[in-house]
Amino acid sequence: MDLEKAGPSTQAVHAGEAPEPTTGSLSPPLYQSSVYAFQDAEQGAAIFAGSREGYVYTRMGNPTLKTLENKLAILEGGEEALVTSSGMAAIATTVASLARAGEHVVSAEVIYGATYTLLREFWPRFGLQSTFVASSDTEDYRRAMRQNTRIVFVETPSNPTLEVVDIAALAEVARKGNALLVVDNTFATPMNQNPLALGADIVVHSASKYLGGHADVIAGVVVGRSDLIHKARQSLRLIGTVLGPFEAWLILRGLKTLALRVARHNENALAVARFLEGHPAVERVFYPGLESHPGHKLAARQMRGFGGMVSFELKGGHDAGIRMVDSVRLCTLAVSLGDVSTLIEHPASMTHTSVPVEERRRGGITDGLVRLSVGIEDAPDIIADLKQALDRTT
Ligand code: LCS
């Protein structure tokens, strides 16, 4: 069967995998090996020269990593994928392979705190500057473009305020400016959104989140055209941001249930968002599935589902936020996201502390903002827990 044309649930189970031919093992073999023996010097030299297929050393390639890369490329509809040691490694490796000193990045301002710091403080040390766009308006991105802009970077929906950016329109802005559009698709997952099909050049993920799905692994992935992934792979081999084989195996295992998990995350998050919208202690709910979300129509157009992430602002500000995250019983107070269990956190004092307070507030990351990664438990149980915690904030 042509898995590239199969439905996403079928792809999540079968893509990139087949029973191992020598033993019939249904589960993909875990090649927990750093190095591979050559049959003789001639074969070794040929593999090194690239004239013969084969493995040399896991930083340069590993069969378990290859299986995962094949699967993720199909899931995102890209020609090739490269797995990395974390989501940050995926982003850093991508930027390092596509841009150089003297060039420029245009990035959304509201993104994961570490990504923001990477672009704002780390890359400028090597001569790569970024301009940040504080809105989801494509025109503002166009205005931020310079002659030397090589990368346009966005998360959509964004961490933590779930802003939605028009991927197709932004791809056009990037193309006209001779730049590449990189979309962090961590929040949406390939089940809810495929940026490459909308015109993006590269998709990155923190695979530590929904792709793995069980809060037991740190990993990342870069997906796109073969020429771009080839460049990223060359950078990875030098920087050394390689994923461990066992971590790759855990992601392979997690991916099999991705479609099921994401369907439940979507369903539960919508129920939770609707509940929060009706609660008197809540000032505002950020969820692209709500009609009240400014990006709702766009999200309905470019996404198949609205995802499992919900943020909300409490009327009681900072103190209410802290009281809320301290009062939950079923939900867990923890950062990260995309796990089967519901996680709650306070961005202003946790995931987004590295963003200066002015930028943070401008981007809607107020002191009373609480972020939820809605899990796959029964929605009424999650809602009951949130209700008892909210009642304590007033
Ligand atoms: N991209 C997004 C959208 C993320 O949310 C994160 C991590 C990363 C990239 C980096 O991935 P990592 O290196 O951790 O695999 N986000 C986190 C968060 O919101 N809480 O803890 C980690």
Chain segment 110-153, per-residue pLDDT in tens: 999 999 999 999 999 999 999 999 999 999 999 999 999 999 99
Spacing, Cα 159 to ligand 1 middle (Å): 9
Give me the pLDDT at residue 118, please. 98
CA distance readout (Å), 38 to 34, 35, 160: 13, 10, 49
Closest atom, ligand 1, to C-alpha of 158? 3
Closest by Cα among 110, 162, 192 to 371:
162
Is 84 a pocket residue for ligand 1 (Cβ < 6 Å)?
Answer: no
Give me the pLDDT at residue 181, please. 98
Q: Which superfamily does 258-391 belong to?
A: Aspartate Aminotransferase, domain 1 (3.90.1150.10)
CA distance readout (Å), 243 to 63, 84, 377: 12, 5, 30
Is 149 a pocket residue for ligand 1 (Cβ < 6 Å)?
Answer: no
Give me the pLDDT at residue 25, please. 96
Spacing, Cα 388 to ligand 1 middle (Å): 29
Q: Each residue of 163-179: b (16+ CB within 10 Å) or e? A: bbbbbbbbbebbeebeb
CA distance readout (Å), 147 to 106, 127, 181: 12, 16, 15
* Segments making up each domain of the chain, as ranges: 7-255, 258-391
Give me the pLDDT at residue 241, please. 97
Is 158 a pocket residue for ligand 1 (Cβ < 6 Å)?
Answer: no
- Which stretches of the chain drop beneath a pLDDT of 70? none
> Which helix (H) or strand (E) is 66 found in, with range?
helix 63-76
User: How far is it, in rounded angstroms, from Cα 102 to Cα 58?
Assistant: 33
Closest atom, ligand 1, to C-alpha of 159? 3
Give me the pLDDT at residue 2, please. 86
Whose C-alpha lies nearest to ligand 1, atom 1?
206
CATH among 3.10.20.30, 3.60.21.10, 3.40.640.10, 3.30.420.40 for 7-255: 3.40.640.10
Is 159 a pocket residue for ligand 1 (Cβ < 6 Å)?
Answer: yes
**Cα angle 294, 300, 301; round to 5:** 110
CA 21 to chain centre: 33
Closest atom, ligand 1, to C-alpha of 155? 3
Closest atom, ligand 1, to C-alpha of 208? 15
Is 88 a pocket residue for ligand 1 (Cβ < 6 Å)?
Answer: yes
Q: Quote the longest CA-to-CA distance of the chain.
A: 75
Give me the pLDDT at residue 267, please. 98
Secondary structure (H, E, C), 132-155: EECCCCHHHHHHHCCCCEEEEEEE
User: How far is it, in rounded angstroms, from Cα 349 to Cα 90?
Assistant: 25
Give me the pLDDT at residue 4, please. 87
Spacing, Cα 372 to ligand 1 middle (Å): 14
**Residues recognised as catalytic:** 59, 112, 184, 209
Is 151 a pocket residue for ligand 1 (Cβ < 6 Å)?
Answer: no
- Mutation pick for ligand 1 pocket among 110, 186, 192 (CB with most ligand atoms within 8 Å): 186
Domain 7-255 shares a fold with domain 258-391? no
**Which tokens go with 268?**
């539960």
Give me the pLDDT at residue 236, please. 98
